[in-house]
Amino acid sequence: MQNIDYSGYAVKMREILTGWGFSENVIRYIIDFTGLFIVFLVSILVYQLLKFIVNRFLKRLILRSPSKWDDRMYEQKVFSRLALIVPAIIIELFLSTTISDYPKTINFIEIGLELYSAIVLIMVANSFLNAVYHIYGDLEVASSKPIKGYVQIGKIIVFVIGTIIIVSMLIGQSPLNLLAGLGAMSAVLLLIFKDTILGFVAGVQISSNKMLQIGDWMTMPKYNVDGVVIDISLVIVKVRNFDNSVSMIPTYSLITDSFQNWRSMLDAGGRRSKRSVLIDLGSISEVDEILRENLEKYPIPEHIYLSFEGKQSNLGLFRWYMLDFLRKHPDVNQQMTLLVRLLPVTENGLPVEFLLYSLLPDLDSFESFQSGLYEYVLTILPDFGLKVYQRPAAQSPDISK
């Protein structure tokens, strides 16, 4: 140890500590490490000053800025966590000059500072990746090309590299040596990160092929999923079903299993309705004067009554009227397929199928329109002299058992 100059501060400290009963060796250590303690206090004060500047002055500048990326950086604490590295820098600069006679202590403190710096940098990188995710989320392309999986992969890489560096510091080995040793554990690592790797590959394919995006309506019978996608992450896809339950689907299952995405239906400008009404064959007849009088309230042109070989059936009039009715309806897409057609006769009657596309995008409005349409069909059938087929009671299945 060096001979300490007990002049000034050192003399006063020695007198005080001697009066408290400390030994000469303890007094020497206390005086030697007083400078380091002062540096430590100064580093904390500088950090508090930087934190004050970030939370007061920098925050005001960020809020006044028209751009949003700096707001996201501040919200995710990138600047405040970056300020945590300053105390380590200050201590490192003055460490050798304050306790130059204690090389082992200097080496121990330097290892601690390196570990502290590595942890802070991991925190900064994690906050930065969160900020990048939110900055990208403000863009219009975010819904069609989510990057949450890529951000999570970035976090995994950051934590893996950070862990390797920290372990190498603790054992005093080069990080490259640890990486070389990890090669022998590749099989174990692949098993541990199986879902992550499969999810990443699936996420790349989903994003590049635009198979699924947030807000899409999807159905997947294998997992009883029928709802809207609310989140796509590295390993999980969250779907809010129409009963407000939330289903969790492994991301890689979207590649290995089949699912149905209804986005193209909505993008096409119409939601398809394809239903049929079974007509009793016994109610189909040629148009007579009595039927024509009953149909006077319907705008059917005269030539329609004689449209096929000079004759017309009540079913033909009904088909023409419904097709004309749908062509004039404001909620039906006239640019897409619109049919009122007859299907092959069955033992349960003659199916009249209505194939159309509604302009109503949301499910509630569409179902209301569809229900109202077929209620209207059933209401006007008697005016055309038609009846809906119903199985006779004697042939009905016994449901009392």
Q: What is the pLDDT of residues 220-262, one digit of tens each?
A: 888 888 888 888 877 788 899 888 889 888 888 888 788 888 7
- By the 8 A CB rule, do 261 and 226 touch? no
Tell me, yes or no, whether 58 and 157 share the same domain. Answer: yes
pLDDT of residue 23: 66
Per-position DSSP letters for 126-165, written without gaps between them: HHHHHHHHHHHHTSGGGTTS--HHHHHHHHHHHHHHHHHH
- By the 8 A CB rule, do 146 and 213 touch? yes
Tell me, yes or no, whether 255 and 133 share the same domain. Answer: no
Tell me, yes or no, whether 227 and 166 share the same domain. Answer: no
The residue type at 257: D
Tell me, yes or no, whether 253 and 294 share the same domain. Answer: no
Tokens of 193: 């990160």
Q: Which residues contact 155 (CB under 8 A, 6 or more apart)?
A: 126, 129
Q: Dihedrals φ, ψ of 352, to 5°?
A: -105, 110
CA atoms within 13 A on the CB side of 307: 16
Residue 240 lies in a domain: yes
Best mean pLDDT range from 118-132, 157-171, 359-373: 118-132
Domain stop point among 264, 287, 303: 264
Tell me, yes or no, whether 184 and 53 share the same domain. Answer: yes
Region 353-368: mean pLDDT is 85
Tell me, yes or no, whether 245 and 308 share the same domain. Answer: no
Residue 168 lies in a domain: yes
- By the 8 A CB rule, do 254 and 210 touch? no
CB atoms within 10 A of CB 123: 18
Residue 96 lies in a domain: yes
Region 193-212: mean pLDDT is 72
The β-bridge relationship of strands 260-261 and 350-358 is unpaired
Residue 205 lies in a domain: no
Tokens of 401: 């058992």
pLDDT in tens, 80-89: 888 888 888 8
Q: How far apart are CA 278 and CA 299, in angstroms?
A: 24
The β-bridge partners of 240 are 228, 246
Q: How far apart are CA 364 and CA 371, in angstroms?
A: 11
Give the domain range for residue 54: 9-200
Tell me, yes or no, whether 239 and 301 share the same domain. Answer: no
The β-bridge partners of 139 are none
- By the 8 A CB rule, do 39 and 98 touch? yes
pLDDT in tens, 321-335: 999 999 999 999 888
Residue 327 lies in a domain: yes
Structurally, the chain folds into a number of domains equal to: 3
Tell me, yes or no, whether 227 and 288 share the same domain. Answer: no
CATH value at residue 249: 2.30.30.60
Q: How far apart are CA 44 and CA 38, in angstroms?
A: 10
Tell me, yes or no, whether 170 and 247 share the same domain. Answer: no
